[in-house]
Amino acid sequence: MTDQTIPQVKSGHEVIREFVRTLPAAPGVYRMLDAQGEVMYVGKARNLKARVTNYTRPDALELRLQRMIAATVSMEFVRTETESEALLLEANMIKRLKPRFNVLLRDDKSFPYILIATDHEAPELTKHRGTRRRQGHYFGPFASATAVGRTIASLQKAFLLRNCSDSFYAARTRPCLMHQIKRCAGPCTREISLEGYGELVEDARQFLSGKSQSVRDHLQREMNEAAEQLDFERAALLRDRLSALALVQSQGDATAKSVEEADVFAIHHEGGQFCVQVFFFRAYQNWGNYPYRPRADASLTDAEVLEAFIGQFYENRTPARLVLVSHDLAEPDLMAEALSTRAGRRVYIEQPKRGEKRDLVNHALNNAREALGRQLAEGATNRALLEGVANCFGLNEPPRRIEVYDNSHISGTNAVGAMIVAGEEGFSKKHYRTFNIKSDITAGDDFGMMREVLTRRFTRLANEAEDEVEDEGGGMPDWPDVVFIDGGAGQLNAVREVISAMNLPRDVTFIGIAKGEERDAGREKFFMEGREAFMLPHRDPVLYYVQRLRDEAHRFAIGTHRAKRKKDQIKNPLDEIEGIGPTRKRALLNHFGSAKAVSRASLTDLNAVPGISGTMAQLVYDHFNPGG
- The model's pLDDT over 141-174, given as tens digits with 9 standing for 90+, comes to 888 788 788 788 878 887 889 988 888 888 888 8
More confident residue, 578 or 332: 332
d(CA 219, CA 212): 11
pLDDT tens-digit profile of 204-219? 888 777 666 667 777 7
d(CA 230, CA 218): 19
d(CA 92, CA 472): 15
Dihedral sign, Cα of residue 440, residue 445, residue 451, residue 452: positive
d(CA 176, CA 627): 36
d(CA 72, CA 304): 23
pTM: 0.68
Architecture of domain 573-624: Orthogonal Bundle (1.10)
pLDDT tens-digit profile of 76-117? 999 999 999 999 999 989 988 889 899 998 776 788 888 999
pLDDT of 31 above 90: yes
Residue 172: exposed, middle, or buried by beta-carbon count in 10 A (0-12, 13-18, 19+)? middle
Ramachandran assignment for 293, one of left (phi > 0), alpha (psi -120 to 50 degrees), beta (any other):
beta
d(CA 31, CA 52): 10
pLDDT of 468 above 60: no
pLDDT of 536 above 50: yes
Q: Which residues are bridge partners to 513 per DSSP?
A: 486, 526
Residue spans of the domains in the chain: they are 2-97, 113-250, 261-373, 393-568, 573-624
d(CA 444, CA 446): 6
Which pLDDT belongs to residue 6?
A: 46
Least confident of 52-56, 352-356, 441-445, 537-541: 441-445
pLDDT of 307 above 90: yes
Mean pLDDT for the stretch of residues 272-299: 88
Specify whether the CB–CB gap between 145 and 133 falls below 8 A. Answer: no
Confidence band of 420 (pLDDT split at 50, 70, 90)? very high
Count of CA atoms in the C-beta half-sphere (13 A) of 59: 0
Dihedral sign, Cα of residue 509, residue 515, residue 521, residue 523: negative
Confidence band of 9 (pLDDT split at 50, 70, 90)? very low
Specify whether the CB–CB gap between 494 and 485 falls below 8 A. Answer: no
pLDDT of 470 above 50: no
d(CA 179, CA 160): 8
Which pLDDT belongs to residue 142?
A: 84
Nearest Cα residue to 363 out of 352, 376, 374, 378: 352
d(CA 162, CA 179): 9
CATH fold for the domain made of 261-373:
Nucleotidyltransferase; domain 5 (3.30.420)
pLDDT of 320 above 70: yes
More confident residue, 108 or 519: 108
More confident residue, 448 or 123: 123
d(CA 461, CA 478): 8
Which pLDDT belongs to residue 335?
A: 93
pLDDT of 7 above 50: no
**Average pLDDT, whole number, for the chain?**
83
Segment holding 256, helix H or strand E = none
Least confident of 467-471, 522-526, 619-623: 467-471
CA 438 to chain CA mean position, Å: 28
Confidence band of 413 (pLDDT split at 50, 70, 90)? low
d(CA 588, CA 103): 50
| Percent with pLDDT over 70 in the chain | 88
Which pLDDT belongs to residue 299?
A: 86
pLDDT of 531 above 90: no
Confidence band of 569 (pLDDT split at 50, 70, 90)? low
Least confident of 14-28, 70-84, 411-425: 411-425
CATH fold for the domain made of 393-568:
Nucleotidyltransferase; domain 5 (3.30.420)
Pairing of strands 74-79, 124-128: unpaired
Which pLDDT belongs to residue 488?
A: 81
**261-373 and 393-568: same fold?**
yes
Q: Could you tell me which CATH number the domain at 2-97 has?
A: 3.40.1440.10
